Amino acid sequence: MKKFSVKTIVAIGIGAALFFVLGRFVAIPSPVPNTSISVQYGLLAFLAVVYGPVAGALVGLIGHTLIDFSYGWGVWWSWVIASGVFGLLMGIAAKTLKMEEGELGKKGLIKFNISQLVCHLICWLAVAPVLDVYMMGEPWDKLIAQGLMAAVANAVTTAIVGSLLCIAYAATKTKAGSLTKE
Amino acid sequence: MENEPIIRFQDFGFQYTAQAEPTLYHINLDIHKGEKVLIAGPSGCGKSTLAHCINGLVPNSYPGKSTGSLTIGGKNAQNMGLFELSQTVGTVLQDSDGQFIGLTVAEDIAFALENDCVPVGPMHDTVARIAELVDVKQVLNHAPHEISGGQKQRVGLGGVMVGNVDVLLFDEPLANLDPATGKQAIVLIDEIQKRTGCAVIIIEHRVEDVLYRPVDRVILMEDGRIRYDGDPDSLLCTDLLPACGIREPLYVTALKYAGVALTKAMRPSYLPELTLSDAQKEQVRCWYEQHPNAEVNAAAPVLLRAENLDFTYDGGHHALRGVSVTVHKGEMLSIVGTNGAGKSTFSKVVCGFEKAQSGILELNGIDLNTLSIKERADHIGYVMQNPNQMISKTQIYDEVALGLRNRQVPEEEIRPRVEETLKICGLYPFRNWPVSALSYGQKKRVTIASILVLKPEMILLDEPTAGQDLKHYTEIMDFLRELNRQGITVVLITHDMHLMLEYTPRAVVFHAGKVIADKSAAEVLNDPQIVAEAHLKETSLYHLSALCGIDNSEEFTRRFIARDREVRK
Amino acid sequence: MTNLFNYIDRPSPIHRLTGACKLVCLILWTLAAMTSFYTPLLVAMTVAAVLLFRIARLKLKDISVTLGIMCVYIVMNNILIFLFSPMHGTNIYGTKTVLFHIAGPYSVTAEQLFYHLNVILKNACTIPIVLLFVCTTNPSEFAASLNRIGISYRISYAVALALRYIPDIQREYRDISLAQQARGTEMSKKANLIHRLKAASAILIPLILSSMERIETISNAMELRGFGKEKKRTWYSGRPFSKLDLACMLSCAVLMLLSLTLTYLNGGRYFNPFQ
């Protein structure tokens, strides 16, 4: 197995902690009564872009498992794995975005959002339901309906939260050399 | 061999890959085992880079090009990896939360042993022994957020001592500690050094606080070069420290103002052993008598009135016990006390982040409890300690405009208000810059500007100068004083005794959820009982005035501060 | 905040088991429950899970909140299944025994009810075991346990770091969020959804960017103390397996095998009382 740098390990740990805190404590009231929208997938997409596919996968897996553990309602492995796969796919898709050099621009944002939409569709409409059908023997129609809801909600939050994070991060990478006082 | 230095820099220079200019030039420096060395210098002087060269973060984590040579323990440091160096040099970082990696105290002390594959049995023995040495035995199973800042630092020290290192390197050990805990830290470092005989290197710009226990040598750095390398007594006889932007011990400055000619023999670096001749004492007394009484301001109308506030956290921690504080219009005052004394809770209650269970809280006679967090912010602005935790926009203009936009102020009204605020804060020339291009001090100004733009009557700042050197400290504080002159009431929460003496006529002292003193800063710091109870640190001027036979140490302090302010202008 | 994972420190045989053993048992048990639709086995496992709960000296009130959430979830999940696929049971078991008709396509069949029973049993035999693991395993042992069962120590340590810094990040989130609220950032229902998400970002951006600085500091601190130097590492809170540990892991392995064997002997995944 490839050896990770210490920095990647720390990024996975802190990333999972952030994923946990956002997923567990940051609930934004949603238009549907008694449900809330979780913003952690925006974070996950962003971290996968910055730290790569393996880090993305592990942040999703660890973070989601810890959330399930802390609620104590059992670990829903199908959804945990789907979170991990989302991190993995986003990391792979984002290899073309050159965030480290502070280049993002409109093109980068469009790429980011197309990738995240596709990744969400794969994870919540394919990965999670297939695993659920196998493990829990649940009916397809119900799983697809659930998956579609999750994919849409997560894609919307990722589009806003993830994009804003990418913009803010890219901005911290700009060099001050070109600036003049006015 | 005894005389072989453990660290030897020879004509050493270093340049970071990402930078155009070298950070270190022609460093020649020997440090021997058993020595205790203070490395001082203003921000950006290269002292941290020098420390990183010693522990190997340069060039292993921060790459760059070096010239000359650096040997550690007789080996060329350039060929040693981080791990090999960590067997010789133990580093305690400034950020004690970053340093504390384990889930509990015991696990954190054991961290290096775990990485060394030490078997569990011997590991438990070593941890027990080290915990005894740094006095954290009672809290071995505690999590980091269950122990105090001072204990955290002890754990940090324990964690590097398990490796039997020859060199202990402390990166700004005092930055996050309250004054009394800082004093204890210096004592602990001194004891550990005496017991283990290793070399101790302390990187710090708070020279007076480090000199609470003697050091063998001071290295003074400026612009990547060593300006002074020698004993601390001789250094204090010169004016090199202030020339490099480092604050001298106050009593040394006071002696210089009085015209006393310092010599090495007087032992100026260690206050308990400072010797003054009768003539010199007379000089100090003369200076004191010649200087006029410092002015005392008359009371203005009341702005904020808190009476009998009581607050208990969900967990049962009784954080405020009958707290009463009055803030007058146009005042600038300090709130001091240890971590956990209730000063942050008080500010949270004032800003509406927490709601007091009982008591009165009024602003201009209006009951604050009827206002939401957002509405209160129109009257009382709160500035967090770390500007990076407040800034959420990438452009300075947008960041400052955020509060107004959230309040649906029309855009054509926003522009003049933002521009005016940027002018007040000296940020107007940068208005189109991204926030990321600014220095820490400038970011701090941006956060203050983003609060000021809402035109609050009062601003509340949490540790505005933490971790700043004298130059940046003066910049931030002079700016706040300027705002205060323009009529804004300023309340500061601080650990910095000097800040409170120099800038705020009045100090409110918190201890264990109660206000134990509310009087002038000079009075507070000259009252040994309050100082001891609230874990403050008495000013060295108190000892100096006692030594010279001046009874009114308070007035002496006040006159010194007034004089110092004139000189520094 | 100090006890997010509801670890309850009480002397019991289950508490004394090593974390690694409990982790292995948890995984095997969950796998056995997931793969099997053999109803008698699921019933047996549910009974066993409740018994284990008693052995660990856990009280109902320790977990009443979790239990409540869990029940709501199970009910909702079953309603959803019924709404989408009222004839799922019939498809699986091949017969159709209508008990009564509701409306339109919705009829209650014995097969459907039996299928729902299986889904509930699958939850009921897993959830207590997860709770058991969480309540009786000291978080300090998590990482050491992962490493023990063969996951690289680097990844195991990432889990330890997550547990270490969750309280810090939680506190930081709270502080930042309050300061932003003071500046007028609104996350409540008053604003529309897009606006709410933007407001959330105003809090998340400083939180995440300052966490990235933290990553740098922590990785320096870890490297300076020799993390990653060797191919393996020891753990302060690691313990050797006892005989009881070995026995427990063996039993769970047998359970897993039993589940697979029963499915095989049954000639299909579903235990079918209707034919």
Tens of pLDDT, residue by residue, chain B (569 residues): 457 899 999 999 999 987 888 999 999 999 999 999 999 999 889 999 999 999 999 988 888 999 999 999 999 998 898 999 999 999 999 888 899 999 999 999 999 999 999 999 999 999 999 999 999 999 999 999 889 888 999 999 999 999 889 999 999 998 878 888 899 999 999 999 999 999 999 999 999 999 999 999 999 999 999 999 999 999 999 999 999 999 999 999 999 999 999 999 999 999 999 999 999 999 999 999 988 766 656 678 999 999 999 999 887 789 999 999 999 999 999 999 888 889 989 999 999 999 999 999 999 989 999 998 888 999 999 999 888 889 988 889 999 999 999 888 999 999 999 999 999 888 898 888 888 888 888 888 899 999 999 999 999 999 888 878 888 888 889 989 999 998 899 999 998 888 999 999 899 999 999 999 999 998 999 899 999 999 898 889 999 999 999 999 999 998 998 898 888 77
pLDDT tens sequence across A136-166: 888 898 899 889 988 999 999 999 999 999 9
Give a yes or no: residue A180 inside a domain. no
pLDDT of residue B388: 87
Tell me which chain A residues have a C-beta less than 8 angstroms from the C-beta of C170: 21, 25
- The answer to whether residues B310 and B514 touch, using CB atoms and an 8 Å cutoff, is no
Listed residue (B421, B432, B40, B53) closest to B245, CA to CA = B40
- The answer to whether residues A120 and A154 touch, using CB atoms and an 8 Å cutoff, is yes
Give a yes or no: residue A120 inside a domain. yes
CB-nearest to B394 from A167, A179, A181 is A167
Confidence of residue A98 (pLDDT cuts 50, 70, 90): low
- The answer to whether residues C207 and C168 touch, using CB atoms and an 8 Å cutoff, is no
Cβ–Cβ below 8 Å for A172 and B436: yes
Question: Which residue type occupies B444?
Answer: K
Cβ–Cβ below 8 Å for B434 and A181: no
Quick check: bond before B59 cis, omega within 30? yes
Q: How far is B144 from chain C (nearest CA, A)?
A: 8
**How many Cβ atoms sit within 10 Å of the Cβ of residue B396?**
27
**How many Cβ atoms sit within 10 Å of the Cβ of residue A31?**
9
CB-nearest to A171 from B429, B431, B436 is B436
Residues of chain C with pLDDT under 70: 1-4, 188-191
Tell me which chain B residues have a C-beta less than 8 angstroms from the C-beta of A182: 429, 431-432
**Cβ neighbourhood burial of B65 (10 Å; 0-12, 13-18, 19+):** exposed
Give a yes or no: residue A28 inside a domain. yes
Looking at the 3D structure of chain A, how many domains does it have?
Answer: 1
Cβ–Cβ below 8 Å for B437 and A182: no
Helix (H/G/I), strand (E/B), else coil: B73: coil
- Those of residues 101-160 in C touching chain B at CB distance below 8 A are 139-140, 160
**What would you report as the CA-atom Rg of chain B, rounded to the nearest whole angstrom?**
25
Helix (H) or strand (E) holding A168: helix A163-172
Tell me which chain A residues have a C-beta less than 8 angstroms from the C-beta of B431: 182
pLDDT of residue B278: 94
Q: Which residue of A has its CA nearest to B427?
A: A181
Give a yes or no: residue A39 inside a domain. yes
Cβ–Cβ below 8 Å for A165 and C201: yes
CA A27/CA C173 separation, integer angstroms: 13
Helix (H) or strand (E) holding C118: helix C110-136
Cβ–Cβ below 8 Å for A16 and C162: yes
pLDDT of residue C105: 83
Helix (H) or strand (E) holding B91: strand B89-92
Roughly what angle, to the nearest 10 degrees, separates helices B149-161 and B120-133?
130
pLDDT of residue B1: 44
Q: Which residue of A has its CA nearest to C165?
A: A17
Annotate B253-275 with DSSP letters as a single string: HHHHHTTPPP-GGG-TT-GGG--
What CATH number is given to the structural domain containing A132?
1.10.1760.20
- Those of residues 114-173 in A touching chain B at CB distance below 8 A are 167-168, 171-173
Cβ–Cβ below 8 Å for A39 and C204: yes
Whether A1 has a pLDDT exceeding 60, the answer reads no
Helix (H) or strand (E) holding A77: helix A77-93
Domain locations in chain C as residue ranges = 13-139+243-266, 145-224
- The answer to whether residues B446 and B435 touch, using CB atoms and an 8 Å cutoff, is yes
Give a yes or no: residue A89 inside a domain. yes
Quick check: bond before B434 cis, omega within 30? no
**Of residues C193 and A116, which shows the higher confidence score?**
A116
**Of residues B422 and A38, which shows the higher confidence score?**
B422
CA B547 to chain centroid, in Å, comes to 28
For residue A133, give its domain range: 6-95+103-172
Segments of B260-377 assigned E as strands: 302-312, 318-328, 332-336, 358-363, 366-367
Residue B562: both structure tokens together = 């007034």
CB-nearest to B450 from C183, C221, C238 is C183
Give a yes or no: residue A71 inside a domain. yes
Cβ–Cβ below 8 Å for C236 and B107: yes
Give the Å distances, CA to CA, from C77 to A142, C83, C115, C122: 9, 10, 13, 13
Q: Which residue of A has its CA nearest to C270?
A: A137
Give B29's strand partners. B9
Cβ–Cβ below 8 Å for A181 and B430: yes
Listed residue (C122, C95, C120, C121) closest to C110, CA to CA = C95
Place of tokens 């078991």: C93
Q: Which residue of B has its CA nearest to C3?
A: B143
CA B152/CA B162 separation, integer angstroms: 16
Cβ–Cβ below 8 Å for A176 and B437: yes
- Those of residues 248-267 in C touching chain B at CB distance below 8 A are none
Residue A92: both structure tokens together = 């792979």
User: Which of C36, C155, C194 best probes binding to A when mutated, by most A CB atoms within 10 angstroms?
Assistant: C155
Residue B543: both structure tokens together = 């000892």
pLDDT of residue C68: 84
Give a yes or no: residue A1 inside a domain. no
